[in-house]
């Protein structure tokens, strides 16, 4: 009884999703934590960057495809609710404290105070050494599953792809029709798994905001893509649709160090405007954390590294690599505030849509089945 009650309160995320899908394809050492059953031969996973559950609830009725998809579960993006972290969780089947992809930018340990941008990468960092966990794609291939990754040609061979999503056969495809064709061809094999990724909605949300004309046009393209995939895949294929995070439109901003002394003792600013990794001069950690907590009371949740770890912010297990990359202070913006890096004012303040934080709008992501 107690165990069932505990299970009913559990939140499920992208690690549960990919473990469950690969379990249906008989990949060893995976568990069907979502209870999606039964054993299948063909699975297709569409990830729409930036399509939060809130967006589906508010705008899904405007597009016929969303009425044709079954809502299977409400999933939750792990912290930080950002692409680099979420896709790494999806690809490895483990949580951020284990895979070590802790945000958009984090400090490279034992470097000259250098940030690694996870999506743009840095040739001085070996992707396989940075993210050491074997991916579910690698493990599935070893167990005889045909695994294909269909996405834009520019991501092929990138540092991030090698770190988080290695092991799949990469098929670079630009444009919806080219992607749909690549997906349907890859699913001819049995057993097979295809992961396909579209980022146009996220880009429109960042530039113009959720609900803008540009964003709605992008959602229309998303609807077209999902519809065409559903129509083109071999009979018996399960088509799953999910996302990496939602998005909030920001109306309030605070520039770190401008009209405040938040950058006193700060040596490096990482993360992104909704989820900051802050690196502090040695010996000044306690003073700085107290100062941030006082000045940002009601605006941001401010945690020390130790508090972030013990609270399970990055998952129950945090490996040494992750501990070393993490900020000495973690600042999570509340409501729709963004915390701007003074060296990136133009880039960060010009964006309307943001994510990374822990509001329901950012972390609630759909799991749909077609």
Contact 159, 125 (CB under 8 A): yes
Burial of 234 (0-12, 13-18, 19+ CB in 10 A): middle
Q: Is the peptide bond before 80 cis (omega within 30 degrees of 0)?
A: yes
Domain CATH code at residue 78: 3.40.720.10
- How many CB atoms neighbour CB 108 within 10 A? 17
Q: How confident is the model at residue 252 (pLDDT cuts 50, 70, 90)?
A: very high
* Angle 217-223-224 from CA coordinates, rounded to 5°: 90
| Residue 52: HSE in the Cβ half-sphere, 13 Å Cα cutoff | 30
pLDDT tens sequence across 53-68: 999 999 999 999 999 9
Contact 265, 340 (CB under 8 A): no
Dihedral angle sign, alpha carbons of residues 85, 86, 92, 96? positive
Give φ, ψ of 107 to 5 degrees.
-75, 140
Q: Is the per-residue pLDDT at 8 higher than 70?
A: no
Nearest 10 degrees: Cα torsion 183, 189, 192, 198 = -10
Q: Which H or E run includes 170?
A: strand 169-172
Give domain status of residue 337, yes or no.
Answer: yes
Same domain, residue pair 321 and 365: no
Same domain, residue pair 331 and 297: yes
Same domain, residue pair 238 and 304: no
Mean pLDDT of 183-198: 98
Q: What is the DSSP letter of 175?
A: S
Same domain, residue pair 22 and 171: yes
Residue 172, SS3? Answer: strand
Q: What is the pTM of this model?
A: 0.96
Q: How confident is the model at residue 40 (pLDDT cuts 50, 70, 90)?
A: confident
Same domain, residue pair 185 and 259: no
Tell me, what's the pLDDT at 38? 78
Same domain, residue pair 335 and 211: no
Give domain status of residue 103, yes or no.
Answer: no
Give domain status of residue 149, yes or no.
Answer: yes
Tell me, what's the pLDDT at 346? 96
How far is the C-alpha of 340 from the C-alpha of 66, rounded, in Å?
A: 35
Q: How confident is the model at residue 9 (pLDDT cuts 50, 70, 90)?
A: low
What mean pLDDT, rounded, does the chain reach?
96
Give domain status of residue 208, yes or no.
Answer: yes
- Which candidate, 110, 21, 41, 50, places its Cα nearest to that of 242? 50
Same domain, residue pair 175 and 275: no
How far is the C-alpha of 46 from the C-alpha of 243, rounded, in Å?
A: 8
Give domain status of residue 79, yes or no.
Answer: yes
Same domain, residue pair 242 and 256: no
| Structural domain count of the chain | 2
- Which candidate, 95, 91, 196, places its Cα nearest to that of 140? 91
Tell me, what's the pLDDT at 260? 96
Same domain, residue pair 316 and 182: no
Give domain status of residue 100, yes or no.
Answer: no
Residue 37, SS3? Answer: coil
Same domain, residue pair 152 and 186: yes
Same domain, residue pair 238 and 317: no
Percent of the chain whose predicted confidence (pLDDT) is above 70? 98
Give domain status of residue 125, yes or no.
Answer: no
Token output for 327: 């900020």
Domain CATH code at residue 265: 3.30.1360.180
Give domain status of residue 19, yes or no.
Answer: yes
Range of the domain at 330: 252-350
Same domain, residue pair 269 and 313: yes
């Amino acid at each position: 009884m107690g165990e069932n009650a505990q299970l009913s309160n559990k939140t499920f995320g992208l690690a549960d999703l990919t473990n469950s899908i690969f379990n249906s394809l008989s990949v060893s050492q995976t568990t069907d934590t979502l209870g999606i059953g039964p054993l299948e031969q063909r699975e297709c996973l569409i990830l729409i960057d930036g399509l939060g559950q809130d967006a589906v609830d508010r705008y899904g009725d405007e597009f016929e495809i969303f009425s044709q998809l079954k809502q299977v579960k409400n999933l939750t993006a792990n912290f930080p609710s950002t692409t680099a972290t979420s896709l790494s969780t999806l690809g490895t089947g483990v949580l951020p404290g284990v895979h070590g992809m802790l945000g958009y930018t984090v400090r490279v340990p034992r470097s000259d105070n250098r940030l690694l941008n996870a999506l743009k990468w840095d040739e001085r960092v070996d992707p396989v050494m940075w993210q050491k966990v074997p991916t579910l794609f690698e493990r599935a291939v070893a167990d005889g599953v045909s695994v294909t990754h269909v996405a834009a040609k520019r991501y092929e061979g990138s540092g991030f792809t090698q770190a988080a999503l290695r092991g799949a056969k990469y098929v670079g495809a630009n444009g919806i029709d080219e992607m749909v064709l690549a997906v349907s061809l890859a699913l001819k094999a049995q057993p097979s798994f295809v992961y396909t990724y579209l980022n146009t909605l996220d880009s429109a949300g960042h530039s113009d905001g959720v609900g803008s004309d540009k964003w709605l046009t992008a959602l229309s393209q998303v609807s077209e893509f999902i519809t065409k995939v559903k129509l083109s895949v071999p009979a018996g294929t399960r088509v799953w649709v999910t996302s990496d995070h939602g998005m909030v439109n920001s109306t309030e901003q605070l520039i770190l160090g401008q009209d405040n002394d938040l950058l006193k003792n700060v040596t490096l600013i990482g993360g992104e405007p909704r989820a900051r990794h802050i690196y502090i001069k040695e010996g000044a950690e306690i003073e700085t954390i107290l100062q941030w907590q006082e000045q940002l009371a009601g605006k941001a949740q401010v945690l020390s590294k130790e508090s972030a770890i013990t609270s399970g912010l990055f998952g129950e297990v945090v490996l040494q690599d992750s501990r070393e990359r993490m900020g000495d202070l973690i600042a999570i913006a509340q409501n729709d505030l963004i915390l701007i890096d003074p060296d990136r004012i133009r880039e960060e303040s010009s964006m309307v849509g943001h994510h990374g934080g822990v509001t329901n709008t950012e972390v609630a992501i759909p799991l749909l089945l077609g």
